[in-house]
Amino acid sequence: MRADRDKVTRLLKTARGQIDGLMKMVDEDRYCMDISNQLMATQAILRTINRDILHAHLEGCVAQVMETDDSRRKIEEILHVMDKLAK
């Protein structure tokens, strides 16, 4: 993996903590909107992690195997689309 391992690990631990908190909220029969908000926060972290990993993959692994002079432009196009999807 070429992504920033420390950042990915930190974010995954944060998401894990949020999931543990969500399980407790469900067990305590907390207000649905509070649970939903926490779910969305967790999903946002996971999307960020996925985006960072995919960026690193495209900038590293994919760039190495592309043989055209146009490879950087192609990678930037894909990264742009991924950024839109992650919002």
Q: pLDDT digits over 3-35, tens only?
A: 899 999 999 999 999 999 999 999 999 999 999
Task: Say yes or no to pLDDT of 80 above 80.
Answer: yes
Task: Say yes or no to pLDDT of 37 above 80.
Answer: yes
- Give the separation between CA 12 and CA 7, rounded to whole angstroms: 9
Domains, the chain:
5-85 (1.20.58.1000)
- Give the separation between CA 82 and CA 57, rounded to whole angstroms: 12
Is 52 within 8 Å of 3 (Cβ atoms)? yes
C-alpha angle 61-58-11 in degrees, rounded to nearest 5: 105
Task: Say yes or no to pLDDT of 68 above 70.
Answer: no
